[in-house]
Structure 1
Amino acid sequence: MAVGILFGRAHDVSAVILATGCGVCFLAFIKKDFAQFILCLLFFLLGFSLIWIHDNKALPPNDVYHFVSKKRVDVTFKIAATESERAYNTRYLVEIKSVNGKSVTGYARWYAPQKVSSTLLPGDVLHLTNVKIKKPSSYRNIGGFDYDQYLKNRGITAIITTAKKTVVTHVETTFSWRRPFEKVKNSIKQALYFDDKMVTAIARAMLIGDQGFISPEARTAFSRAGSAHLLAVSGLHVGFISATVYFAVKAFMFLVFYNAKYEWTSAGHPSRIAAIFAIICVLAFAVMTGPRVSSARAAIMVATYLAAIFLGRGRDFYGAFAVAGIIILIGSPWSIFEAGFQLSFSAVFFIVVFMERWWKPVFESNQQMFFKPPPGARVLRNLPYFGSFAAVSVFATMGSAPIAAYHFNVIPLYGVFLNTFLVPVASLAVPWGLFWAFVPSAWAMQVTQTVMRFIWDMTKLTADAPFSHYQVGDISASSVVLYYLFILLSLFMKPSIIKKRLAVSVAIVFIATVSIPPLSSAFNSRLKIMFVDVGQGDCTVVIWPKGGAMVIDAGGRYRTFDPGRSVIAPLLWSEQRTKLTALVVTHSDRDHM
């Protein structure tokens, strides 16, 4: 299915990735398993059809996209979901009902002022006067982030902006299945309020997935420290919650019924009941935190595992992994092109594969390995708890590092060591914080605040340490493919001279594809000048011969958007420049600094 989606939107994928997809299909074919080939072909056609239909679906004549205008209008819409709460406004997904009294359909994004957004919930129908309906637009830069396509993928075709004269009137409240979950989320959000704004922002991000108050500086610190995954509700958080609920309910059932109903408890019924409770909590948590790929993937996989426990069947990781991928791609085929999907699935896949193929042989000397584990790995036999967390941190980093470098141009160097300590802390903090957010307790919330402050202090200390991260220029998709090919060869091929030579050859080609672009840029004798759209005017970027760059008037008039971080830096990385040699500001206006 993934290969079919890649072919369906081939203009967004490099030829090497397409070739890799063809190779996978070819390998399935040469096994002479006709049933397997037919199954692969059907999934290929399904993926191709899903993305093609999504990209070529025509908008109805009364879609809100056709009502984009510079004139101010009156709009009636229903709040579909709360996307993110910020310091200055709250971002909502709204379903348009009418424009100037005319029936209209479609979805738009509305940035509601803080003074009117505090009590709004999904299902509320509002009437706004004196607003503008704008078309989503990207910056006019070649190769820049396509904001229009980003919103189109999510079914959003317009943006609604308000003015000082805008009047907001609540019309009615209609049914919305998201409303009760949003109420619970808001109550938790209110409980997670501390005097320290940074602690409040981190607690809300970790526990309920609301990252609206995370500052750009904090995001940079977590990214450089290699602990950014703690801010995104992912398999880590879902796993903590499911395990806590499952073992707590199971222990309670045994404690209450073991003596009275010995045969009933011995038959495994407490485990089945605990699995049901855990499934309900996991799915409710995933819905409450929003439609994120990482939480959806984790919820589906965990629910599949727990369902197997309830049915008394064996657990199959690869089956649960495939089910999660298929469900997400059927609902959102475009998600395969985004960093969240790639990081989530690659990290969990390589954690399990490395644990099976590399970690177990450390403890089982009779297992044959392609490469011998480092001598220090065997010391971890005597530290199984610490060793497991360290191994998971190492394997997750190895599985996601090239994708993180491809999308974010940074390689954290201390992330493995930091996560070895922070992940166990987070495994206790997440269920603890959520439980006591429902049951008010001053001392318990003080513990939550202390833990969140510890996580931030450790992250900040690591990010500010010398050589904490390595900034890289753009790397090619071929480099990412070669990296994973080398890892898979190392894990799945039986030791032999020929296969070791093949793996070494792949490693050499990988090193060449990574090192040649920056070296060629360093010896390039051409002067290059680019004029970059940063919103309010243009910025001038000068690429010096043989290294170095200068930026003139980088912009920055927005409250919640930094053009330097989001527009200029990616452009410099594409030119293999990771540092500036000069920064020029022609005058002190805000849109120039």
Structure 2
Amino acid sequence: MLPSLSVAFLSGLVLGSFVPYFPLSVSCLLVVSPIILSLWERRFRDSTAKTTLLCGCVLFGVLYWSVTVERPARDGEAILESDSPEEVTGRIIAPVQQTAERMTAIVLRDASAEGKHLYRLRLTWRVPDRSLFQGDRIRFRARIRRPSGSLNPGGFDYVAYLERQGISATASVNGEHAVERLEGGANGLWWAVWNQLDKWRDQIRLAAVQSLSQPALGIYLGIVIGERNYIDSDLREQFMVTGTVHLLSISGSHLGLVALLTFAAVRGILLRLPAGWLLRLSRTAPPTRMAALVTVIPVTLYACLAGAELATMRSLLMVLVALLARWLGYEQRMLHALALAAILILLHDPQALYDISFQLSFLSVLAIAGWLSRSEESDSVLPEHSNAVRTTLCWARDAMVMSGVVTAVTLPLVALYFNQIPWLGLFTNVVAVPVMGLFLVPIGLLSALWQLADGSASLPLSSAIQVLIDGFIAGMRMMSAFPIAEWHVASPSIPLMALFFALLMGAWRRRSAWTRWAAVIGLVCILFWWVWSPHLSDGHNFRVTFLDVGQGDSAVLEFPNGEVVLIDGGATYERFDMGRSVVAPYLWNRGIRSIDHVIATHPQLDHVGGLAWVMRHFPVREYWGTGEVREEAFYDRLRQSVSSQGLSEQVAYEGMDIVSSGECRLQVLNPPEYFDISSTLLSKRQEGHGLNNRSVVTLMTCGLHQVLFTADIEREAINRIKAAPIRRSIEILKVPHHGAVSSLDRDWIASLHPRVAIISAGKHNPYNHPAAAVIQAYVDEHVSLYRTDRDGGIWITGNGSEEVLTVHRTRDRKLQPIDLSSCGWPCECDNWYRVWTRWKDRT
């Protein structure tokens, strides 16, 4: 009964999350559901009490979401942004994430006399001069912003991610004395405990930094204290390829293995006590119950030492529920324990329903529970007289099967969130999980506790830890280099995922042979489609997409003959690479596995920083640039990526054709061929305006249509292009230099007379792009203006032989909350249309 109730409650939460967007449809479904359940009751002779209880759980889930999620979200919308810094006081309410150059804290802002209400704020302190800990009350001055991030078709929604964590605003400060500690966290027992735990975490971190070198340092801090900021992005990528990325942060597997080791050790010690002692102990509690009780302590301490993040605490709750089932003697009812854990987690945080860690954890445990129950039904046991070799082989077989089951069940989610099929995890997890749980985590925890006990500046057992983790990393790197280990796919659509799970259930359940074979064939077809992920060609149409990469540029050109051109790739930052996080997922979701031409318009970070990652992971036929060299780290990475493909930079200059196919052509308009760059090759740094004016400017012509890509050119280059006027008016213009005043030329805009202008800029960028004068100049020319900082990714589709061009905005694809008092069914139909277009784009 409990699993059914949990499914009903979960269904109610899902329906509740859609009430703001589909109030009438959800209401109709709630009205119809009792009728459906009553028919079910008559068909299968279920009790009326059971069906009534299920209906009540669904309705409770809907109401619970509305009260606990939607109402606080409406309060967060009242936060007003200001360009002026304001003073903020509040308390740090979560473990602080720290590195040498940056600190991130979640602050609960105090209510103020001016009417500022309580809300959570994410504070980033760059180059801090002191450590802060959970429970500290602090004060700082900063500009308060609502969460913002890139918004692209089928891309990751960072704003929604922060909102699910209850974060309503962000702020950043820089340098010494930017944050003042008003009081420590020792005031009050609750904050005193968490404050001390955070200080212990910082003590272990500092000792590890002094004793370990990268990349072992990042792994150690990730698996012991839950500090993920030290893990190198390339290393994380290699673990992702091998399907073992879940081992880099404390998850259910870590807590489960610690619990298993502790339980087995305590139970073994108790069973070896003298008979008299064991008899007296058994009168109070049998060894199994006592071991379950003792195991609670180290597992809870480990979770708290790891920062007690939401994902970690969810895993802890699942382990505690399993131990409770063991104490009560209900260990055979794993599904009931899992259902209870799910209900408790969702009661605490209903938005966990849409968190990837929650989804993957519960799907994995559900798969394991189903496999174990299936094994028990088939009485798959070891022979009575089996030797060690045969026993080991049987365990290896069972581990491989379990790994395969978990990989198959979680495959759609991994493909949805990471655009990847981690097929290698089927083999690597069989070895990696035991090594991590039996060796690395226990030794790491032992060294951490030892360090806290003696208080030394160095980490005990550091030499052994360095050797073990280095060996572990070497093995994962070797596996990641396996041919076709990295297999990226388009994100599957939700209906297709639902069909996959339905077929998986049909193949798993013991039904007729033909039903099972039909389900298996359906699964094979779906897997083949996902693995193939063909290029979503628009037939005879062309498509130009301006991606939202923040303060930077990136455009993807898809020609009718299938050729693909990538112009720039956005920036790369310390923890965020636009090439990896924005450009690549868009290409995968379009079914693009190779790129014909990559154009680096000019060597500046906001344009070519993300190209290094793209060049390493996509086959590229030709790479184009200006031929200029910069002594910068981001440019060195790009040159190495180009060399790794066996390519050399081809210099683009005025008059060249990069693409010439049928009625479509991509022509270079800037820089001029006669420009001498020999002096710039000897220079270590280039002035910004010089690099901008030597940017590669291209003109795309497809039949009746023309699109001009202007990179960052300023007035000097504009005057040069004006000297050789374009024969006919431009329909689509990428506004130069993100809308800077230095690139404004009203006469040039009037001569081009574009229908549509695209500005690629980041929200709240420090340059105040686009400038008000630039916006007004295009408004005066009656040009339709689109901006990536407001509209998200923008794409234009058209046919060379037809005059019609269609402009699409990602912002238009987002579901809009409905106010029934002003707009009812028509607005809801608009949302249904948005759902349809999003599904159509994915399929």
For the superposition of Structure 1 and Structure 2, which TM-score range results when normalised by the shorter chain? 0.7 to 0.9
| Contact 1:233 1:295 (C-alpha < 8 Å) held by counterparts | yes
Encode CA deviations 1:261-306: one digit per residue, 9 max, x unaligned: 2412455544333222211222333333345565334322321222
Equivalent AA in structure 2 for residue 38 of structure 1: T
Equivalent AA in structure 2 for residue 139 of structure 1: S
Separation in 1, partners of 2:476, 2:217 = 16
| Contact 2:223 2:250 (C-alpha < 8 Å) held by counterparts | yes
Shift of 1:158: 0.9
Shift of 1:394: 1.8
Shift of 1:497: 4.0
Please say which of residues 285-294 and 458-467 is displaced more in the overlay: 285-294
**Secondary structure at the residue paired with 2:550?**
coil
Hey, what does 1:532 align to over in structure 2? 547
**Secondary structure at the residue paired with 2:110?**
strand
Separation in 1, partners of 2:434, 2:572 = 41
Q: Compared with structure 1, are the counterparts of its residues 556 and 430 closer, same or farther at alpha carbon in structure 2 (3 Å cutoff)?
A: same
User: In structure 2, which of residues 336, 339, 353 is the aligned counterpart of residue 319 of structure 1?
Assistant: 336
| Contact 1:539 1:551 (C-alpha < 8 Å) held by counterparts | yes
User: In structure 2, which of residues 107, 119, 140 is the aligned counterpart of residue 94 of structure 1?
Assistant: 107
Please say which of residues 450-459 and 95-104 is displaced more in the overlay: 95-104
Shift of 1:472: 0.8
Shift of 1:314: 4.6
Hey, what does 2:313 align to over in structure 1? 296
Hey, what does 2:147 align to over in structure 1? 136
Matches within 5 A, 1:436-451: 436-440=447-451, 444-451=461-468
Please say which of residues 47-56 and 341-350 is displaced more in the overlay: 47-56
Matches within 5 A, 1:280-359: 280-290=297-307, 292=309, 294-357=311-374
1:465 has 2:482 as partner: yes
Hey, what does 1:479 align to over in structure 2? 496
Equivalent AA in structure 1 for residue 145 of structure 2: K
1:57 has 2:71 as partner: yes
Hey, what does 2:471 align to over in structure 1? 454
**Secondary structure at the residue paired with 2:556?**
strand
Consecutive unaligned residues in structure 1, runs of 5 or more: 366-378
Please say which of residues 460-469 and 269-278 is displaced more in the overlay: 269-278
**Secondary structure at the residue paired with 2:602?**
coil
**Secondary structure at the residue paired with 2:105?**
strand
Separation in 1, partners of 2:64, 2:481 = 45
Q: Compared with structure 1, are the counterparts of its residues 28 and 405 closer, same or farther at alpha carbon in structure 2 (3 Å cutoff)?
A: farther
Equivalent AA in structure 2 for residue 90 of structure 1: M
Hey, what does 2:634 align to over in structure 1? none
1:391 has 2:407 as partner: no
Hey, what does 2:128 align to over in structure 1? 115
Q: Compared with structure 1, are the counterparts of its residues 22 and 347 closer, same or farther at alpha carbon in structure 2 (3 Å cutoff)?
A: farther
User: In structure 1, which of residues 9, 25, 29 is the aligned counterpart of residue 17 of structure 2?
Assistant: 9
Separation in 2, partners of 1:342, 1:7 = 17
| Contact 1:521 1:546 (C-alpha < 8 Å) held by counterparts | no
Hey, what does 1:374 align to over in structure 2? none
Hey, what does 2:247 align to over in structure 1? 230
Separation in 2, partners of 1:103, 1:216 = 38
| Contact 1:357 1:491 (C-alpha < 8 Å) held by counterparts | no
Shift of 1:545: 3.3
Separation in 2, partners of 1:511, 1:259 = 57
Separation in 2, partners of 1:123, 1:449 = 33
Separation in 2, partners of 1:497, 1:295 = 42
1:585 has 2:597 as partner: no
Hey, what does 1:435 align to over in structure 2? 446
User: In structure 2, which of residues 44, 54, 63 is the aligned counterpart of residue 40 of structure 1?
Assistant: 54
Q: Compared with structure 1, are the counterparts of its residues 199 and 520 closer, same or farther at alpha carbon in structure 2 (3 Å cutoff)?
A: closer
Shift of 1:310: 3.1
Encode CA deviations 1:421-464: one digit per residue, 9 max, x unaligned: 11121121212211222124977333222221122111111112
Identity %: 25
Hey, what does 2:419 align to over in structure 1? 409
User: In structure 2, which of residues 172, 182, 199 is the aligned counterpart of residue 183 of structure 1?
Assistant: 199
Q: Compared with structure 1, are the counterparts of its residues 534 and 262 closer, same or farther at alpha carbon in structure 2 (3 Å cutoff)?
A: closer
| Contact 2:271 2:278 (C-alpha < 8 Å) held by counterparts | no
User: In structure 2, which of residues 562, 578, 584 is the aligned counterpart of residue 569 of structure 1?
Assistant: 584
Shift of 1:68: 2.6
Hey, what does 1:197 align to over in structure 2? 214
| Contact 2:126 2:175 (C-alpha < 8 Å) held by counterparts | no
Separation in 2, partners of 1:11, 1:223 = 36
| Contact 2:219 2:469 (C-alpha < 8 Å) held by counterparts | yes
**Secondary structure at the residue paired with 1:383?**
helix
Encode CA deviations 1:64-90: one digit per residue, 9 max, x unaligned: 963531101222121111253245212
Shift of 1:534: 1.0
Shift of 1:319: 1.0
Separation in 2, partners of 1:434, 1:13 = 47
Equivalent AA in structure 2 for residue 560 of structure 1: R
Equivalent AA in structure 2 for residue 206 of structure 1: I
Q: Compared with structure 1, are the counterparts of its residues 137 and 313 closer, same or farther at alpha carbon in structure 2 (3 Å cutoff)?
A: closer
Separation in 2, partners of 1:386, 1:498 = 31
| Contact 1:188 1:434 (C-alpha < 8 Å) held by counterparts | no
Equivalent AA in structure 1 for residue 166 of structure 2: G
Shift of 1:581: 2.6
Separation in 2, partners of 1:22, 1:457 = 55
| Contact 1:89 1:111 (C-alpha < 8 Å) held by counterparts | yes
Equivalent AA in structure 2 for residue 588 of structure 1: P
**Secondary structure at the residue paired with 1:71?**
coil
1:124 has 2:141 as partner: no
Separation in 2, partners of 1:313, 1:246 = 16
Separation in 1, partners of 2:289, 2:498 = 42
User: In structure 2, which of residues 156, 161, 176 is the aligned counterpart of residue 150 of structure 1?
Assistant: 161
Separation in 2, partners of 1:435, 1:360 = 40
Equivalent AA in structure 2 for residue 126 of structure 1: I
Separation in 1, partners of 2:216, 2:535 = 44
Hey, what does 2:236 align to over in structure 1? 219
Structure number, greater radius of gyration: 2
Equivalent AA in structure 1 for residue 89 of structure 2: T
Q: Which one scores higher on RCO, CA 8 angstroms, separation ≥ 6?
A: 1
Encode CA deviations 1:543-577: one digit per residue, 9 max, x unaligned: 23354532212121533211111122222222222
Separation in 1, partners of 2:94, 2:277 = 46
**Bigger helix share:** 1
| Contact 2:258 2:299 (C-alpha < 8 Å) held by counterparts | yes
Separation in 2, partners of 1:272, 1:358 = 25
Separation in 2, partners of 1:210, 1:5 = 31
Separation in 2, partners of 1:327, 1:243 = 23
Encode CA deviations 1:172-230: one digit per residue, 9 max, x unaligned: 12331422332333333344444321111011112232211122212211111111111
Equivalent AA in structure 2 for residue 133 of structure 1: I
Matches within 5 A, 1:68-83: 68-83=81-96
| Contact 2:82 2:143 (C-alpha < 8 Å) held by counterparts | yes
- TM superposition score normalised by structure 2: 0.62
Consecutive unaligned residues in structure 2, runs of 5 or more: 1-8, 383-388, 452-457, 609-843
Equivalent AA in structure 1 for residue 11 of structure 2: V
Encode CA deviations 1:488-545: one digit per residue, 9 max, x unaligned: 1122223x244235425643763586489x4472583422101112111332111233
Separation in 2, partners of 1:189, 1:163 = 22
| Contact 1:191 1:437 (C-alpha < 8 Å) held by counterparts | no
**Secondary structure at the residue paired with 2:541?**
coil
Separation in 2, partners of 1:180, 1:146 = 35
Encode CA deviations 1:150-186: one digit per residue, 9 max, x unaligned: 2222221111211448632221123314223323333
Separation in 1, partners of 2:563, 2:479 = 27
Separation in 1, partners of 2:363, 2:62 = 22
| Contact 2:128 2:174 (C-alpha < 8 Å) held by counterparts | no
